[in-house]
Amino acid sequence: MKKYFGTDGIRGRVGQSPISADWMLKLGWAVGSVLNKNRPEKRSKVLIGKDTRISGYLLESALEAGLSSAGVDILLLGPMPTPGIAYLTRALRVDIGIVISASHNPYYDNGIKFFSAEGTKLPDEKELVIEAALDSIMTTVDSKALGKASRVRDAEGRYVEFCKNTFPVSLDLRGIKLVIDCANGATYKIAPTVFRELGAEVIEMASEPDGFNINDGCGSTYPGPLAEKVRLENAHAGIALDGDGDRVIMVDHTGAVVDGDELIFIIAKWYAKTNRLAGGVVGTVMSNYGLELAFQTAGIPFLRTHVGDRHVMKMLEKHQWNLGGEASGHIICLDANSTGDGIISALRVVAVMCCSGKSLKELKEGMTKCPQILINVPIAIRTQIIDHPKIQHAVNDAEQRLKGEGRVLLRPSGTEALVRVMVEGQDSTLVESIAEELAEVVKKSIGVKSDL
């Protein structure tokens, strides 16, 4: 069991352990000590990038000091999207890439993610080694062996060119008007530049970060303002990224939101048509049942895994496939980058619009989302749902009522004392009824007891 690392690195409230200056100093030292132990014959090198939260300055400085004290050299990128840090970790041949970001969370949260030298998330066993080092006494190498820090001046330009090079050379975006919501986050310069240099007319939103406004009523988790702007400007589409740029949600010309499941469907169909699809597509247990049905119709294999891009990546690697993701907009195109990349995923979708001559609205019509109801039930203690016969009986009964035309999922939250009750199917009335009944069974079986 890991003490600090969750499904996507280390995350929490700034100023509270582990997201504090003293803890980050020790973390930097621990990472550096592990690197030097594994490579005693060669000086190790680490790069650090961050999103636009004000706390990024604090955490960056603490990590830098810890790494230097362990004798590791540091490359500083400044504000850079998470997938850009993954790319530069590979391109600059460093040992580890560190991301300072809490993704789509508010500014008062922050977190740390790591990329391996190959630009992929660190495996569990390496995270455990770092955690073990954190329990050791911190020391400092001799002064002549201290690590040096330098800034990568052309990091932004390198990643812009990398993104542009994933777009077909036979296409350009002249005549296409796009509204891009950068969530006042790490993509605030890069995303508009990429699409402008490919020829698009770009209208920017939420591209003036001040350290506090990241994800504040904007970005992929708040697509409403983007939808209004797309309609107002008569744009072809809107692109909403999250604070660190690894997620994307889009809006069609009518202002309708196009979520990650629908974007994955559009990209997968294009991959299949152009012989780019390596096998099939990976989704999660939360992927809409309509996506599964659409892939059945299209003859595209589809597999589900646990929630989280780490699990999606493992499944892709296991089957040697190249496309997967989540409804949240975390889409992994392994033929382009080693992790989820919001800008590149959006470029893929816009390329399909250009190649087909179809609008985003037309492209998503091949998939019909099934009605889905999600109810969060507070529970007294975290426990195994399978241990409760009444709950399992209710689930079996619900599945029989859906007659194979829907899904039931009860999933304990990984971070809160909640059970997520999800039901989806083709009959919205039936789906809502079943979800409410299941939630009531969970409440009575293991739910929080009311004092009233």
Q: Which residues are catalytic?
A: 103
Side-chain-facing half-sphere of 131: CA atoms under 13 Å: 16
Strands 237-241 and 201-205: unpaired
Rg (CA), the chain: 23
Quick one: tokens of 29?
């030292």
Among 430, 412, 429, residue whose Cα is nearest residue 421? 412
In the DSSP assignment, the letter for residue 247 is: -
Q: CB of 80 within 8 A of CB of 156?
A: yes
Among 378, 372, 374, residue whose Cα is nearest residue 419? 378
Q: Distance between alpha carbon 185 and the CA centroid of its chain, in Å? A: 14
Residue with tokens 């789509």: 104
The rounded distance, in Å, linking the Cα atoms of 131 and 6 is: 12
Q: CB of 217 within 8 A of CB of 205?
A: no
Q: What spatial distance separates the first Cα and last Cα of the chain, rounded to whole Å?
A: 38
In the DSSP assignment, the letter for residue 387 is: G
Q: CB of 277 within 8 A of CB of 384?
A: no
List Cβ neighbours of 190 (8 Å cut-off, separation of 6 or more).
80, 81, 84, 156, 159, 160, 163, 245, 343
Consecutive H or E run containing 133: helix 124-134
The rounded distance, in Å, linking the Cα atoms of 364 and 264 is: 10
What residue type is assigned to position 192 of the chain? Answer: P
